[in-house]
């Protein structure tokens, strides 16, 4: 896999704009890395290309709003150890590695992603697996990061084996964007590794944000998982300048469904530092989702959800009945357990 890591190298392929050239990596950004595969999908003559916007940084990342922070979901406060997050009673997230083949500019976990920590240590894996083994109320684990498929197939097998040795019944969500960023990573050897762990389901959680990402190579990778019996679910992020158009989302969702990937979530952008230029105002997001629901079937319709700030959890916009304040500056949303949370209207 080849990657571009510097603006100078990127300038040879794309004519970078002044805002792109002015970007610099700091404590609130993620590094620059773009795979050759994803770069090949970008129109070099279109500075507003929706795929370009997802991976080419701009100076807008280097500024933040007062309501943004580096850990918008309060994962640190809900962490059992540096790698294991237990925010919901029945599931945990294990941060396998901070490394990605390609760093998305809208990444919400920039407190961790690309921070040069590398894969979890043997002690971190065993400590986390022991914790899951001691808590039967945990039914699911999200193997996430970073992207866990930056690990070798042998390392993937060892990692899953550690958790399944304590909990054969543990359902796994394997979270990866490799199907979009570098689909050649998905091969028969990986499929054979995953098929060894058949005591409970493994769900493949993907992220496609625009229909052009569903190229022939990605469809081939999807088919390898689907043909082997692994259910696939897609989690898109609603992004300004990328997919904030009901027609674009409808095409994405219908194409995903045709490829045997269930459109699962459409996420409102998190309140993470340096991403305000990506976030669609919630009022407009609600309107986009209503129009989307008129264009696609129930099978193709994802849940429009928002992860509330300060670790207050995920809510379905369609069932939480958000209310806009009189001055149109804040939304009020209610969590499933009855808490009232304020969210900026932007």
Residue 290: active-site member:
no
Residue 105: active-site member:
no
Q: Which of 52, 104, 147, 175 is catalytic?
A: 104
Residues 84, 109: Cα–Cα separation, whole Å: 14
Q: Which of 139, 212, 260, 314 is catalytic?
A: 314
Residue indicated by tokens 């640190």: 76
Q: Which of 91, 262, 291, 334 is catalytic?
A: 91
Residue 104: active-site member:
yes
- Pairing of the two strands 84-88 and 79-81: antiparallel
Query: How many angstroms separate the Cα of 49 from the Cα of each of 45, 212, 240, 260, 330?
Result: 8, 11, 12, 26, 31
Q: Which of 270, 279, 304, 343 is catalytic?
A: 270
Residue 45: active-site member:
no
Residues 248, 213: Cα–Cα separation, whole Å: 12
Q: Which of 98, 164, 307, 343 is catalytic?
A: 307
Residue 109: active-site member:
yes
Residue 270: active-site member:
yes
Alpha carbon of residue 61 to chain centroid: 18
Residue indicated by tokens 């370009």: 52
The candidate with the shortest Cα–Cα distance to 315, out of 323, 307, 326, is 307
Residue 110: active-site member:
no
Q: Which of 109, 164, 185, 251 is catalytic?
A: 109
Residues 316, 220: Cα–Cα separation, whole Å: 32
Q: Which of 71, 83, 107, 164 is catalytic?
A: 107
Alpha carbon of residue 51 to chain centroid: 15
Q: Which of 100, 103, 105, 182 is catalytic?
A: 100
Residue indicated by tokens 């091969």: 187
Q: Which of 52, 83, 87, 173 is catalytic?
A: 87
Residues 7, 10: Cα–Cα separation, whole Å: 5
Q: Which of 46, 48, 88, 227 is catalytic?
A: 88
Residue 304: active-site member:
no
Look at residue 320 and give its three-state secondary structure. Answer: helix
Any idea what DSSP says for residue 59?
G
Nearest 5°: the CA angle 237, 238, 243 is: 110
- Pairing of the two strands 261-267 and 232-237: parallel
- Active-site residue set: 87-88, 91, 100, 104, 107, 109, 270, 307, 314
């Amino acid at each position: 896999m080849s990657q571009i890591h510097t603006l100078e190298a990127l300038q040879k392929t794309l004519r970078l704009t002044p805002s792109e050239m002015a970007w610099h990596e700091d404590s609130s950004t993620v590094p620059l890395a773009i795979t050759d595969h994803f770069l090949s999908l970008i129109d070099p003559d279109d500075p507003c290309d929706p795929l370009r916007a997802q991976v080419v940084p701009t100076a807008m990342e280097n500024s933040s709003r007062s309501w943004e922070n580096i850990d918008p979901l309060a994962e640190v406060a809900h962490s059992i150890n540096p790698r294991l997050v237990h925010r919901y009673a029945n599931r945990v997230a294990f941060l396998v590695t901070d490394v990605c083949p390609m760093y998305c500019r809208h990444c919400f976990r920039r407190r961790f992603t690309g921070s040069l920590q590398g894969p979890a240590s043997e002690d971190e894996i065993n400590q986390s697996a022991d914790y899951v083994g001691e808590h039967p109320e945990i039914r699911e684990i999200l193997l996430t990061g970073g992207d866990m498929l930056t690990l070798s197939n042998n390392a993937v097998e060892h990692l899953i084996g550690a958790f399944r040795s304590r909990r054969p019944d543990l359902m796994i969500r394997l979270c990866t964007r490799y199907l979009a960023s570098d689909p050649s990573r998905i091969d028969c050897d990986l499929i054979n590794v995953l098929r060894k762990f058949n005591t409970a389901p493994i769900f493949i959680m993907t992220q496609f944000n625009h229909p052009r990402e569903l190229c022939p190579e990605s469809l081939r990778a999807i088919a390898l998982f689907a043909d082997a019996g692994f259910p696939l679910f897609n989690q898109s992020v609603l992004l300004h300048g990328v997919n904030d158009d009901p027609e674009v989302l409808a095409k994405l969702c219908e194409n995903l469904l045709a490829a045997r990937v269930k459109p699962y979530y459409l996420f409102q952008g998190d309140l993470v530092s340096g991403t305000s230029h990506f976030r669609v105002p919630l009022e407009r997001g609600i309107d986009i989702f209503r129009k989307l629901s008129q264009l696609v079937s129930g099978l193709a319709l994802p849940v429009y959800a928002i992860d509330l700030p300060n670790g207050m959890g995920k809510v379905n916009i369609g069932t939480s009945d958000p209310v806009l304040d009189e001055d149109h500056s804040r939304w009020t949303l209610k969590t499933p357990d009855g808490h009232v949370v304020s969210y900026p209207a932007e």
